[in-house]
Amino acid sequence: MSPLRIVSVAIALICSVGAADASAKELCVFSVDEMEKNPAGTRIAKAACEEHALWRKPFINTQGRIVRLGPMEAERDLLADETTPAWRRVLWYWRESGLLDDNADWERTRIAEKGDKGRNGASDCAAQTQDWGQRSACRAFLIDVPWSAVFVSYAMKRAAIDDFVVTSSHFYYMRDAARNPETSPYRLTDPAKETPEVGDLICYAREKDRIFGHTAFAEYGRGAGVKLDAHCDIVVAANLDRDSKLYAIGGNVMQGVTMRKLNLNAQGRLSLPMRREGVAGRAFDPRDESTENMNRQDWVALLKLNRDRVR
């Protein structure tokens, strides 16, 4: 091949790559068409995406490995706006979701019953002005009390999703989706059988001593069972440019607002690494990291947004 021909081919390849990049959809950017077809879902996803960017985009890849860290929940380090300390943003989620006052009232009741033993710092966070001691107590509350469901509730408030069960425990809105699929903003489905879309929630159970799977969890949620530990992330992209990947954002993941990437199969459904019985109690050997995967969970539910009713 002549030198001129080689140069021409190289230029053509560069141009084709550039054209592909130019036509590729950008993650967390939603077209007018997408917003018209799925207005509620895109509003939810945009709220999550904006917060993820603010936290400097921490990320877990498809192998369940942390490839990017951001600020941590208890830190004074500033977020991407160069103004807000990380811990103040977590406090913002509690306040704007409307859940802080409920927790402060609950704490005051416990203090009346048990004295300082009942204190957890929620009322210190609720104070209009905070001295040094109250700020310290408030930060302890933000560290000690899980806020991942608070983040989801905040995103739903931002997106104006009516009738969503605003709660600091994922289980309660998951249970609502299981019990009331006709009236809840979401319906609880099997993540192996339904196709995820923007604005859906992908959820796992966090019970240390039990593996549920979808069927057992759905039965438990529809019953009269007590609260379970769980976690849900907000789907912000699925099969973008046919990449067979799902991108989801959750709060209180690696102590920040973190995106994870998960695989999709040929049908566009989730191909999830599942936690198995006995794995949680196994001792970790630093010489063998092959079994460690932050995406390997007891994935029990895909909460599908009721798009025909929630606009």
Q: Considering only CA atoms, which of 282, 301, 298 is closest in space to residue 290?
A: 282
Measuring CA to CA, how many Å separate 235 from each of 104, 135, 303, 304?
A: 31, 34, 10, 10
Q: Considering only CA atoms, which of 299, 276, 46, 63 is closest in space to residue 194?
A: 299
pLDDT digits (tens, 9 = 90+) for 163-219: 999 999 999 999 999 999 999 999 999 999 999 999 999 999 999 889 999 999 999
Specify the length of the chain in residues.
311
Q: Where are the domains of the chain?
A: 44-72+170-306, 74-146
- In sequence order, what are the beta bridge partners of 60? 66, 260
Question: Where residue 127 falls among pLDDT bands split at 50, 70, 90?
Answer: confident
**DSSP helix/strand/coil, 111:** helix
CB atoms within 10 A of CB 184: 22
Pairing of the two strands 59-60 and 66-68 = antiparallel
Work out the average pLDDT over 233-238: 98
pLDDT exceeds cutoff 80 at 39: yes
Task: Give phi and psi for 258, each to the nearest 5.
Answer: -125, 140
Question: Where residue 303 falls among pLDDT bands split at 50, 70, 90?
Answer: very high
Report percent pLDDT > 70 for the chain.
91
pLDDT exceeds cutoff 60 at 74: yes
Distance CA 199, CA 42 (A): 6
Please give the DSSP secondary-structure letter assigned to residue 131. Answer: -
pLDDT number for residue 130: 84
DSSP H/E element including 158:
helix 148-158
Quick check: 75 and 86 in contact, CB under 8 A? yes
pLDDT digits (tens, 9 = 90+) for 111-125: 888 887 777 889 999
pLDDT number for residue 278: 63
pLDDT exceeds cutoff 80 at 226: yes
